[in-house]
Structure 1
Amino acid sequence: MKIDSKPLRYAHAEGHTDVCYTEDGQHLITCGHDGDVRIWMDIEDDDPNSHCVGENALAVCFKDKRLYVATDSHVVQAYTFPAFDKDGIVTRFTAPVTQIKTASKIEALGCSSENMEARICSLEGGAPLFVMSEHKGSVLSIAICPHMKYASTASGDGMMRIWDIDTQKIVKEIACVPKINTFYAAKVLCRMDFEPSEGKYLAYPNNREIILLDCESWGQRMTFTHSSIKCAISQCLFSPCGQYLAGSTVAGQIAVWEVQTGNCVGLVEHPTSHNVSAMAWNPKGNGVLAYCDVAGQLGCLVNCYGKDSATGDEIEHVERVDDDDLGDLLPNDESDDENAISLEKLKNETLGLVEPRDESRPASALPPAPHTAPPQPPFQPSGTPAHLEHRYMCWNDVGIVRCHTLENGESSIDVEFHDTNVHHGLHLNNYLNHTMASLSTSVLALACETPSKLVCISLVGSSKEWSVSLPDKEEALCVAAAGGLVACATTARLLRLFTPMGTQRQVISLAGPVVALAGYNTTVLAVYHSTEPGVSDQHLAMDIIAMNGRHVRSKTVPVPLTPGSKLAWLGATDAGSPCAFDNTGILRLYDVASGVWIPICDTSTHSRGVSDTWFIVSVSEPAQTVRAILCRGASFPPTAPKPIVAELPIRIPLCELDSEKASHEEQLVRWAHCAADVDVKAAREVSLKLFALACRSEIEQRALELMELLKDDRLLPLAAKYASRLGRVHLADKLTDLGAAWERDADNLNVARNSHFQELDTQETYDVTSTEQDLNASLIIPQKAKEKKTETVTPIKPVPIKSSPGGARNPFKKQQEATKNVQSPLSLTERTLVEVHDHSENDDPQKPLEGEKFVDWFSRNRSRLEQESPELSPAELTRHAVRAFRQVQGQAAPATPDAAAKRKREDEASDAPVASAPKQSKLSAFAFQKKT
């Protein structure tokens, strides 16, 4: 028979209305925007019992002779039935509860809320059994399978998520929900449902059809649709027997399909075309479907099974000859009776789902395919989701781009610059509904998917605007603005490059679906999926594309992420090093000179709450800080009030960072790979502290190894002197021999090192030319690239730091200024640290240090004087040194009477060693042995 529709009844005030049945099917319960809960005998009941629970009630559910209502106080309140007395609070939220759902075979409630959270709670209240908190929008609906193995949620961020309740992890994510920023603005609620008998299938609405998923492989089994459906389906619901599936659209159309065949039993049009907000099957199994709309009206459909059946007994009786009515009503196929009908075989043959299985083979012979992580969609770094009414389109070290959308659909864009001397703020009407933006010191780039048009505003000079339309069937996915170019990645896997004033520069094909773009000067960083995602990894790769005149250079590197994580931010430091940040809080820096990724900051260690996240703004290598915004209990910062940007220190996660030794080691490693504002003096001081720690720990071999690693000729004599003071005579002798070995083996080491780096240079794909000028202009970090190229083309000794006689390469060459000294409990003498500072600041070895006497000066320069005058005896050498000391001291002393008198007294005092040459010679020899 044809589906029949009963006349609509007024139930509640206009607004979201919910409906459910009691477990025996005798009563119909509704709640609405007026805050009342009404209990109906049936739809023709003219005097239902009404109870006020608050200003509004969004959801109602019946379970085990109790009624559960979502009230305006954001709680799930339990009531007795039919007395309707309060019976406790099941759970509390910080925002309105959007749905309460349960299943007949479980003793739990599923609750979803607008605070981007869903929970599975016990019927008696208490702590939630499972909290689903990884949503990025209001949770619209929830469903639980009858065996409580899986749960499904749909949120306003556009994703439907399937959760494994046992492991409390996401099994699958599907983009099928229109993005909204609040539950009250949602037209499509995406109410999904599990098959009620065994939970083998999950049905969910997707545009104008309903998709059926297999809960074992999560593959698509079949779809349900109808030619008369002209708008999106909002919700779907299985019948109690599992044979029928009902769906409703945003225009009030209600259709019922037969699950086995996929045939549509019937379709009913809503009399006033209002959106259906809730549906409920009668548990009696009599083919009655109740529904409510957003106007507060209650309706009912009968004969939804396509035949005249009034009682549940008639529905449950199945004739052997009626094959169309078999299915989930039959027992499982594990019976030994040869006349029993196999339910699995019948479904496979009828629906054409899978090939009939060979009964002689065991079921375990076909292992299920492993679940793979859903691929990460493209996003804009330092931007918030596009469905929010007030959002950040971009927030970086240049400025802030905000987008504001009103209820009538009008949108505007505000641009705020951190430095108003560079450019004044901008206010734009967002006529084209731009959803992507990127800001640099020279250009503001805006783009949207439809229409596929790139609009750029030049910030240099007179703020000229230019635009370009993308080809047909090609839409923009990501944009990036840098100082010297504008990049746009499209759906055709093309990377289109433009100059800041609109000249088309290059078109490059990407090797996979793009995920994010970033830029620095004339270099673009493009991250994409190199292969299909694995079980827990996204398998991302990054192309570093550098432009230099007519030359284009590229280097492809894999992007490391924490297992099971996604890329959350992509950018470059103020020195040009690429950086990647995942949603677990790990920030990594790519050192172009060495070609390795280095973790530089774990933001989770700076969070107080488990649900707190950090929104990265920029990374500064000279200042050694990460500028970020703390988002408490959320993934993105709010637009009002304006959040505060915090500075997190860059710290490489070495082992045992709480110890003194590891803290010094972390500084050396960080200074070696980052362009920090640290001079050689501070690095030598930290190195000497590490050397002292090794000596006091009685690990002489580690102290010797440290000196071999640093290879600093000016630090070596100080280390030998400190070792002799501690009584480490053997270590001091080894350090003395080490300096001589460096000078002998310098040539061989340099040749080997240069050949090694030459081999690495030939393997770099971005080095397409051989001129030093092009290399310096094209790579991301010109300073590092220039240093490496100089070492490559110079086979002779590299120039040492501050005239180092050994010619060894110092790893702290890039540091410029001193940083804050680290406090150390070591009992180093002040004289030793002063010597470190003085030796590092003395460019001329002949120039006496401040307050230095002739004996110390002669000990320090004796080897040089002997090389200059090898024919002199020790006494003659001493006299020659006195004359040289007076000469250099006179040049260095200031021209003041006090200074002249002081110099005269020092000269008179220095005559005594000349008169006693043998005694002076022994003292000089002793000092020389100790210091060299």
Structure 2
Amino acid sequence: MKIDSKPLRYAHAEGHTDVCYSENGQNIITCGNDGDVRIWVDIDDDDPNSHCVGESAVSVCYKEKRLYVATDNHAVQAYTYPAFDKDGIVTRFTASVTQIKSTNKIEALGCTSENMEAKICSLEGGAPLFVMKEHTGPVLSIAICPHMKYASTACGDGKLRVWDIDTQKIVKEISCVPKINTFYAAKVLCRMDFEPTEGKYLAYPNNREIILLDCESWGQRMAFTHNLIKCAISQCVFSPCGEYLAGSTVAGQIAVWETGSGTCTGIIEHPTSHNVSAMAWNPKGNGVLAYCDVAGQLGMLVNCYGKDSSKFGADSEDIEMVERDNDDGDVVDDLIENYESDDDNAISLEKIKNETLGITKEREQDESRPASRRDTPAPATVPPQPPFQPSATPVHLEHRYMCWNDIGIVRCHTQENGESTIDVEFHDTNLHHGIHLNNYLNHTMASLSSTVVALACETPSKLVCISLVGSSKEWSASMPDTEEILCIAAASGLVACGTNARLLRLFTPLGTQRQVISLAGPVVTLGGFNTTVFAVYHSTDPGLSDQHLAMDIIAINGRQVRSKTVALPLSPSSRLTWLGATDAGAVTACDSAGTLRLYDVASALWMPLCDTHAHARGASDTWFIVSVSETTQKVRAILCRGASFPATVPKPIVSELPIQIPLCELDTEKSQYEEQLVRWAHTTADVDVKTARETALKLFALACRSEIEQRALELMELLKDDRLLPLAAKYASRLGRVHLADKLTNLAETWEKDDKLNVAQNSHFTELDTQETYDVTNAEEDLNASLIIPQKVKEKKLEAETSLKPVPIKSSPGRARNIFKKQASSTKNGPSPLSLTERTLVEVHNPADASENDDPLTPIGSETFVDWFTRNKSVLETQNPGLGPSELTRHGIKLFKTVQGKNAASSENGPKRKLDEDSNGTDPVVSNAPKQSKLSSFAFQKKDK
């Protein structure tokens, strides 16, 4: 008789769910994320007894007419059964309790917690019998030997430890647990179990198989696996008789093996492929196995063992048997298929096949090796990382963050009746006021930018956006029938959504469909900045421990669309946890190992910026990244103690972590200066050039004092700064390094020769050269740029020095200008706009004045001294090379007054007569001469007299 699975039914809210049986096997007891403990008569019970114990309940255990529940207040609470009255607290922890376990033959409870501790406690409470403290991560599970001799724990630091309870020491340590930082992020719980009758064996999951250890020698005795198991096994549990072993995978598969022969009696596939969070055998020994999954559903398997289950062992496609030789098997199969006879001897071929190729082969294997172990299966791969939203907390929480970035915070609050609301809070209230809306469509994804709030839901898949520009208009876009949104991203110039059809759909902030792009793999997450979108997807299937991710950088500039595909690096055995852009537009990504990386477009390389785990106190502490600033060289993040995400109440405090390139020997002064130079060169840091030169000079001084002249010379060649070179030569001469000073003096001439060769030989590739985000140029000064002075700082200074100012509009004291009057030189060909200087720009706008004033020092119209001095500064410096800045200014004031006086004296006759002649007495006289005060006019007349 094959294993049969009963239909799943709703038991608790989505989240970790636990199950156990009462000692008589008549009731099923479950607890879940909704904080309720339910007592079922059977899985078909439509009205189970429900008792609320708090906001959440992680684990439940039945022992001697009492229930022990792990509540949300980090305690193990005892309740009477079936009255369900509180009966004291067994023990307390400083973090969440992850499992409570006991067996029929022991009078104690095994309890584990996220605070890196495990305890063996008495049923009546009091001081614990044994505390296991040598863990460096959250403890996931515990198992106790029926003779109370050994205990086993699985920890998030990657270790499974076996403890001797009498000596309270570790007797065995195995690396088989995937490393995680919190219990709630663990998919593989590594729930192990001791053989319940004698405690001779310990079974624990290890990737796609279950290993059986001998408790005397701690050597491997047997391994259980199956060719249909495609992912990691999360937990295993012995039947009450100890003859059968059940295991469950992270994809919901449940398999049962016979412990004696190692034969798999059957595998059941989960209908929705959810991870099984707990399993429990019925103590009656009737072959019934109850289980719960992370979706809060309760299921049951019947006929899990029985002698009839061995009869269908010939079905080789579903049940794994002992491996046989392919050639012999094919011959026997042909004989069976082609032989047709009613004689009783016809079945002897099948008997011979089973006996010779089955039993005989199994005996030979048993004799050849001491432990009956199957051939090693194909190496298993980690499951692909599912899509996620950066800076968001899990969806199943009642109060969660949907988005938290440098613009604001989006929160979602779900009530007990199912109603949901969304609150949007902006950091800068001048940008926009807060938004409160009802979540009728059950939005699970959100993204926020300075121009739009984007919301999306999976089913029915619909994108809803609220524009923050203008009158806050709302628009929406529904996906096709078979397409679901998996992640979204909002930037100031674009809104993007990735779907399960491997499509990237781009919209403008006001709802215009901009582009549809096909991705090369399943989407993982999205990010954006201005009009650029970063799409991360699976480039290939995951490996044994690593995710293989790639990223498309898609930049839109008007009608042009440019893209670049780069590989996304991750730390070993980690996954991507955050993706975003800095305030300067550079792509940044962080993995579960805590390493933050930045992608430099100019060099097309990823650089590690910060190790967030180095700033955490405990092994289970993580940092929830909010934003990254290149200007201030800080990472804004929230410290989550013992968890991977922050709580909504109270509102967490955002901390600032420094950006630091992980160079070697950072505790030395030399490495600290080197780290500053490298960081300033590859990030848009708000650093003073003077400070950068001082740091470089200090590094040069350290090389000189260490008597390593070649390193000092190499440093100056690397920095390539003309202004720093004389300072370094002067310092070298003071230290008596005459040869070094001579080489530094001759270094400038060498640079001039090398510059010409570099310009001729080097050809820079063009990368996403859009105006909004990336600026990669091929100019000659870029090839010869200094390492310590970032190019972006130079460009800002250049713009500040040569910024074009608007030409002042001439005043018309008499009446308004005749705008229809044609200018004689209006069709004159001016210089190319690409080569316009400030002076030529003025001349183009005032062709008549330029033709009359041949002298460039003559003021144009009512030009002020500041405008005149700015326009003629280069001419004055050429005429007076020996004057300093202040002396040049004083000379310019004197010259301006002299030229202005001459212009005023000549305007009394010349301009007026010319205007009278041109106007023929029809237009009023208009003078452009500067006005003089009454007192100055009076003094001028008095001087003439």
TM-score range, shorter chain: 0.5 to 0.7
2:793 is aligned, of 791, 794, 815, to: 815
1:478 is aligned, of 484, 487, 490, to: 487
Name the structure 2 match of 1:604: 613
1:66 is aligned, of 99, 107, 124, to: 107
Name the structure 2 match of 1:741: 750
Deviation at 1:244, TM superposition (A): 3.8
Q: 1 CA distance for matches of 2:717 and 2:467?
A: 53
1:371 is aligned, of 380, 391, 404, to: 380
Cα deviation code 1:171-200 (max 9, x no counterpart): 9999999xxxxxxxxxxxx98635789999
Deviation at 1:625, TM superposition (A): 0.9
SS at match of 2:693: helix
The answer to whether structure 1 residue 588 and structure 2 residue 597 are counterparts is yes
The answer to whether structure 1 residue 89 and structure 2 residue 129 are counterparts is yes
Question: 5 Å matches for 1:365-404?
Answer: 366-404=375-413
Name the structure 1 match of 2:424: 415
The answer to whether structure 1 residue 616 and structure 2 residue 625 are counterparts is yes
The answer to whether structure 1 residue 520 and structure 2 residue 529 are counterparts is yes
Deviation at 1:461, TM superposition (A): 1.2
Name the structure 1 match of 2:887: 891
Cα deviation code 1:398-433 (max 9, x no counterpart): 000111112222211111000000000011111111
Q: 2 CA distance for matches of 1:136 and 1:31?
A: 26
1:144 is aligned, of 171, 187, 192, to: 192
Name the structure 2 match of 1:186: none
SS at match of 1:571: strand
Name the structure 1 match of 2:64: 29
Q: Which amino acid aligns with 2:790?
A: F
2:721 is aligned, of 712, 718, 732, to: 712
Question: 5 Å matches for 1:745-824?
Answer: 745-753=754-762, 755=763, 757=764, 760-761=765-766, 775-777=769-771, 780-781=773-774, 784-785=775-776, 788-791=777-780, 812-815=790-793
Name the structure 2 match of 1:507: 516
Alpha-carbon spacing, 1:111–1:798, altered in 2? closer, same or farther (3 Å): closer
- Contact 1:56–1:71 under 8 Å retained in 2: no
Deviation at 1:813, TM superposition (A): 3.1
| TM norm structure 2 | 0.60
RMSD (Å) for aligned C-alpha atoms = 5.9
Name the structure 2 match of 1:246: 289
- Contact 2:204–2:211 under 8 Å retained in 1: yes
Name the structure 2 match of 1:291: none
Question: 5 Å matches for 1:116-265?
Answer: 123=165, 134-137=181-184, 143-146=191-194, 151=204, 193-194=237-238, 202-204=246-248, 210-211=254-255, 222-224=266-268, 236-237=279-280, 244-247=287-290, 255-259=301-305
Name whichever of 700-709 and 677-686 sits farther off.
677-686
Q: Which amino acid aligns with 1:815?
A: V
Q: 2 CA distance for matches of 1:111 and 1:18?
A: 30
Q: Which amino acid aligns with 1:256?
A: V
- Contact 2:452–2:490 under 8 Å retained in 1: yes
Deviation at 1:513, TM superposition (A): 1.5
Name the structure 2 match of 1:914: none
Q: Which amino acid aligns with 2:779?
A: T
Alpha-carbon spacing, 1:462–1:693, altered in 2? closer, same or farther (3 Å): same
Q: 1 CA distance for matches of 2:145 and 2:635?
A: 48
Deviation at 1:891, TM superposition (A): 3.0
Alpha-carbon spacing, 1:526–1:615, altered in 2? closer, same or farther (3 Å): same
Q: 1 CA distance for matches of 2:186 and 2:555?
A: 43
Aligned residues: percent identity?
49
Cα deviation code 1:424-451 (max 9, x no counterpart): 0011111111111110011111112212
Deviation at 1:777, TM superposition (A): 2.6
The answer to whether structure 1 residue 457 and structure 2 residue 505 are counterparts is no
SS at match of 2:661: coil
SS at match of 1:556: strand
Deviation at 1:126, TM superposition (A): 5.7
Deviation at 1:654, TM superposition (A): 1.0
Q: 2 CA distance for matches of 1:149 and 1:479?
A: 46
Q: 1 CA distance for matches of 2:231 and 2:414?
A: 23
SS at match of 1:62: coil
Alpha-carbon spacing, 1:555–1:133, altered in 2? closer, same or farther (3 Å): closer
Name whichever of 617-626 and 253-262 sits farther off.
253-262
Question: 5 Å matches for 1:822-861?
Answer: none
Question: 5 Å matches for 1:529-568?
Answer: 529-568=538-577
Q: Which runs of 5+ in 2 are unaligned?
A: 5-21, 42-61, 70-76, 93-98, 195-199, 220-224, 315-321, 324-349, 797-878, 893-945
Cα deviation code 1:584-635 (max 9, x no counterpart): 1111100011111111111122222222111111011111111111112211
2:448 is aligned, of 430, 439, 460, to: 439
- Contact 2:235–2:249 under 8 Å retained in 1: yes
- Contact 1:61–1:100 under 8 Å retained in 2: no
Deviation at 1:470, TM superposition (A): 1.1
Deviation at 1:682, TM superposition (A): 2.1
Alpha-carbon spacing, 1:255–1:715, altered in 2? closer, same or farther (3 Å): closer
The answer to whether structure 1 residue 579 and structure 2 residue 619 are counterparts is no
The answer to whether structure 1 residue 732 and structure 2 residue 728 are counterparts is no
Alpha-carbon spacing, 1:367–1:630, altered in 2? closer, same or farther (3 Å): same
Name the structure 1 match of 2:662: 653
- Contact 2:680–2:788 under 8 Å retained in 1: no
SS at match of 2:191: strand
Alpha-carbon spacing, 1:738–1:658, altered in 2? closer, same or farther (3 Å): same
- Contact 2:782–2:791 under 8 Å retained in 1: no
Deviation at 1:571, TM superposition (A): 0.5
Deviation at 1:68, TM superposition (A): 3.0
Q: 2 CA distance for matches of 1:602 and 1:12?
A: 41
Q: 2 CA distance for matches of 1:800 and 1:323?
A: 75
Alpha-carbon spacing, 1:733–1:374, altered in 2? closer, same or farther (3 Å): same
Q: 1 CA distance for matches of 2:509 and 2:490?
A: 8
Name the structure 1 match of 2:437: 428
Alpha-carbon spacing, 1:724–1:603, altered in 2? closer, same or farther (3 Å): same
Alpha-carbon spacing, 1:353–1:724, altered in 2? closer, same or farther (3 Å): farther
Alpha-carbon spacing, 1:69–1:151, altered in 2? closer, same or farther (3 Å): closer
Name the structure 1 match of 2:702: 693
Q: 1 CA distance for matches of 2:29 and 2:485?
A: 47
SS at match of 2:303: strand
Q: Which amino acid aligns with 1:137?
A: Y
Deviation at 1:699, TM superposition (A): 0.8
- Contact 2:244–2:256 under 8 Å retained in 1: no
Q: 2 CA distance for matches of 1:455 and 1:135?
A: 33
Q: 2 CA distance for matches of 1:382 and 1:717?
A: 49
Alpha-carbon spacing, 1:127–1:427, altered in 2? closer, same or farther (3 Å): farther
Question: 5 Å matches for 1:346-361?
Answer: none
- Contact 1:680–1:816 under 8 Å retained in 2: no
SS at match of 1:638: coil
SS at match of 1:814: helix
Cα deviation code 1:46-100 (max 9, x no counterpart): xx9x99555999966236553438799x9966458xxx8979434599xx99997
Cα deviation code 1:808-847 (max 9, x no counterpart): 89853323799xxxxxxxxxxxxxxxxxxxxxxxxxxxxx
Cα deviation code 1:90-141 (max 9, x no counterpart): 4599xx9999754659844568999xx9998765696899898644539998
Q: 2 CA distance for matches of 1:625 and 1:497?
A: 31
Alpha-carbon spacing, 1:201–1:524, altered in 2? closer, same or farther (3 Å): farther
Alpha-carbon spacing, 1:708–1:602, altered in 2? closer, same or farther (3 Å): same
